[in-house]
Structure 1
Amino acid sequence: MDSKPALIEDQTPNLVVAHIRALRPRQWTKNLIVFAAPLFAFELTVQTLLGSLLAFMLFCFTSSSFYLINDIIDVESDRRHPVKCKRPIAAGLVAVPTAIAMALILLTTALVLGWWRSPGLGLAILTYALLQVAYNLRLKHTVILDVVAISIGFILRAFGGAAATDIVLSPWFLLCTAMLALFLGIEKRKAELRLSEIKGKKSRAVLYRYSLPLLNRMESVVTNGTILTYALWSSGPIVNGASTPWMMLTLPFVLYGIFRYQLLSDPEEIARRTTGAEAGGRTERPEEVLLGDRPLLLTVLAWVATTFGVLLFKSQGVLT
């Protein structure tokens, strides 16, 4: 009589973990860009941080709702996939009706709270949701527009973070965000293309329109654009950029971070570091590269520390 309740009780934590995993919390790092508005504007107050935190939470709700929807749509194909079959919905750990309810609740909550906080934030979330629909239905299958859509998604997050905190962003910051997002999108396609060449099968139809030489040329353009726009922003108020030209001190960290990421995505470097069928797919997931490479993570932390140092000294009147 007591064995069945005990079994259910033992399984409950695993089911809770499965439902959380279905939301793909590792992908939430992409939404951290909403905190860039108060950071880049040097307006770090309790009010702006709470506004950014709300924007972060709502964009996590929105992105997770579409992860659930995608997994529901692809549940049959995922069950035949050697890796994706372990996803909670495909594995049967999360029921499809439950996943539908979760997606609807998350998306509705994000839209309602977004419009309540600020029409600009609500519009950013709504536009981001529509972009996800367009991306999954068409854009992810369209060469060049697929990476452009990824870039627009990051711009909408940055705009949403600014709207939630009533901060006006520098146009150089928005351009730098777009260039950096394009850079990451191109790196993702490069990793997928290399992985497909190793396996002898392309995982996306759009990969048939790409080649490594083409992606390398695209990467060169957006890398130059990223560095140039960040340098202009950090030059200070003379070009409608940062509030102090001392932000130029952070430029070396940006340069090293970009070059380090390119090193990690280089085929020869990958061959030295990895073996097996999955070699070459590491930069397909930027958030895993950031969290998994110590020099790159230290570079990000050094950039943050330097930025806060400049902010502190500027607030004390030491820097202008």
Structure 2
Amino acid sequence: MDARTERTAVPLAVDLDGTLIATDLLWESLFLLLRQRPLCLFLLPFWLLGGKARLKCEIAERVEIDAGGLPYRQNLLNQLAEDRAAGRHIVLATAAPRKFAEAIARHLGVFDAVISSEPGRNMASRVKRDALIEAFGDGGFDYAGNSRADIAVFDAARTALVVAPDGAAARWHARNGGELIEGDKPSPRTYVKMLRAHQWLKNALIFVPMILSHEYFNSDMFIPAVLAFISFSAAASAIYILNDFFDLSLDRRHPTKRNRPFASGVLSIPFGFVAMIGLLAISVGIAFLLPPLYGMVLAAYLVATTAYSLAIKRMLLLDVLMLAGLYTVRILAGSAATGSGVSFWLLAFSVFFFLSLALVKRYVELRGTSLQAGERIAGRGYRIEDQEVISQAGMASAFSSAMVLALYIQSSAVRELYSMPWLIWPLCPIVLYITIRIWVLARRDEMHDDPIVFIISDWRSQLVGAFGAFLLFYAGT
């Protein structure tokens, strides 16, 4: 009997979470439940009192998973397909609830049986080991697993297949041997993507009140502004992580978002949850070093962004109005941190300008979809036939922002702040150039980035923006 025939003659039991898929269905289904039924948050402690198995089954009763969209470990799947073709008996042995396990087994078509959690029985560690021994005998099966909870099953199996192991499973493999299938290793770039560090550029709006007050070199304002920038960046990254948790299934159906660290399974949800708590602790800790008003603005930002992630992002027009408001909140945060004033004109300009850019995002999403008339974009409140009205509203907002700027330039406040106010009139055509160009590119299907990130990284926008900044500085000297 050759080695392949000898291997396939023994049943293979395969773990699900972290082994067959690069994620954990308990965490996935929990965030899916909270997205669909937020009030179930208050039921979770009562379900958990009945044991982990009850918690899993109660969640499974209320949500449906997309078995076809999960991040499967393709190298393991290929091996299972080969073994199944050779006649091997393969069992899905998982602590996930039966509803989820059977949905995945039906989708893959490589399993002969399913062993899973039931109400009152969490099929993990020694419980799973005992169930497999009862079915196949001690040492009568091979087992594929990945974590500390699988070590008891490894010890009872004939041969262990260690897949993308955690620290405990890796140490077990080093001592005892067995077959090893490595998982994707996160790189420094992975963590940067998790934090969405490029989005921190938006928080530069915190410096705007200080700059417009001509306090560029005032350390009493500059240092608080830097601290507020760090605080807001940490808070924003924490909310981005939370947003990724709620959007896992949607991201996996997107051509580029499917490669995000949590959607792809390169980073685990528990790791992301710990990182999120740490980032929030940094943000709030810095807030205690700043004026109390800044803390109030930060709290409002956290509440608003969480509401956006949970519900508002799926509401027609309310989502873009919220996005425009969140950009304006950054300006208010800068004002609160530095004690510099913020005018009605600046807030009005900010709302119209960023509303136009938020509408660009939705317009690009609509242009890039292949949906039919009457169908909504996944996770959004927009339909394909909304393109024209979104475009019209976005262009109107762009012109409104330029109009507000023009009225501000003509106001008495400008004559008090600037010795040569006529020098800042070119800011109006600069704003129009930037916004209209973005809309032209969007209608040409050449706008592939977040509009804010595009403005910051586009050399033409950088050039005219730098010219506008020079005019502001020179006009105030």
Cα gap change, 1:60/1:116 in structure 2, threshold over 3 Å: closer, same or farther? same
TM alignment of 1:61-140, pairs within 5 A: 61-79=234-252, 81-140=254-313
Matched, 1:39 2:214: no
Query: Compared with structure 1, are the counterparts of its residues 242 and 134 closer, same or farther at alpha carbon in structure 2 (3 Å cutoff)?
Result: farther
Given candidates 392, 400, 424, the residue that maps to 1:250 is: 424
1:71 CA displacement = 1.6
Deviations 1:200-219 (A, max 9, x none): 98344311286233223322
The answer to whether structure 1 residue 304 and structure 2 residue 469 are counterparts is: yes
Tell which structure's C-alpha radius of gyration is larger.
Answer: 2
Task: Determine helix, strand or coil for the equivalent of 1:265.
Answer: helix
Tell me the equivalent position of 1:261.
Answer: 435
Tell me what 1:156 maps to.
329
Structure 1 length normalisation: TM-score? 0.81
Residues 17-26 or 68-77, more deviating: 68-77
| AA in 2 matched with 1:205 | R
Alignment deviations for residues 61-116 of structure 1 (CA, whole Å, 9 cap, x no partner): 11100111122233344345442232122233322211101111111321232143
In the TM superposition, 1:273-284 aligns within 5 A as 279-282=445-448
| Structure-2 separation of matches of 1:21 and 1:141 | 24
TM-score (norm 2): 0.56
CA distance in 2, matches of 1:152, 1:163: 16
Q: Tell me which amino acid in the other structure corresponds to 2:198.
A: R
What's 1:293 paired with?
458
TM-aligned CA distance change 1:92 to 1:35, over 3 Å? same
Residues 68 and 242 of structure 1, relative CA distance in 2, 3 Å threshold: farther
C-alpha separation in 2, matches of 1:192 and 1:110: 32
- With CA pairs under 8 Å and 6+ residues apart, which has the higher RCO, 1 or 2? 1
Q: Does 1:23 align with 2:186?
A: no
CA distance in 1: counterparts of 2:331 and 2:354, whole angstroms: 11
Distance 1:286 1:254 in 2: 19
On the 8 A contact 1:48/1:165 being kept in 2, the answer is yes
Mind listing any 5+ residue stretches in structure 2 that lack a counterpart? 1-173, 175-182
Taking the aligned partners of 1:19 and 1:143, their CA distance within structure 2 comes to 32
Cα offset, 1:53, TM superposition: 1.2
Hey, what does 1:208 align to over in structure 2?
383
CA contact (8 A) 2:349 2:401 kept: yes
Give the gaps of 5 or more residues in structure 1.
Answer: 5-10, 272-278, 315-320
Q: What RMSD in Å do the two structures reach over aligned CA positions?
A: 2.9
- Are the equivalent residues in 2 in contact too, given 1:40–1:242 (CA < 8 A)? no
Q: Secondary structure at the match of 1:196?
A: coil
The Cα of 1:306 is off from its aligned counterpart by 1.9
Does 2:398 match 1:223? yes
Say which SS state the counterpart of residue 61 (structure 1) adopts: helix
**Aligned residues with identical type, % of pairs:** 22
Q: For residue 461 of structure 2, what is the amino acid of its counterpart?
A: L
Which deviations, in whole Å up to 9, do the C-alpha atoms of 1:144-193 show, x marking residues without a partner? Answer: 21111011101211010011101111111111111111111122222222
Match for residue 360 of structure 2?
187
**What SS does the corresponding residue of 2:262 show, helix, strand or coil?**
coil
8 Å contact kept, 1:112–1:122: no
Contact kept, 8 Å, 1:235 with 1:242, in 2: the verdict is: no
Q: What is the total number of aligned residue pairs between the two structures?
A: 293
**CA distance change for structure 1 residues 140 and 210 in 2, over 3 Å: closer, same or farther?**
farther
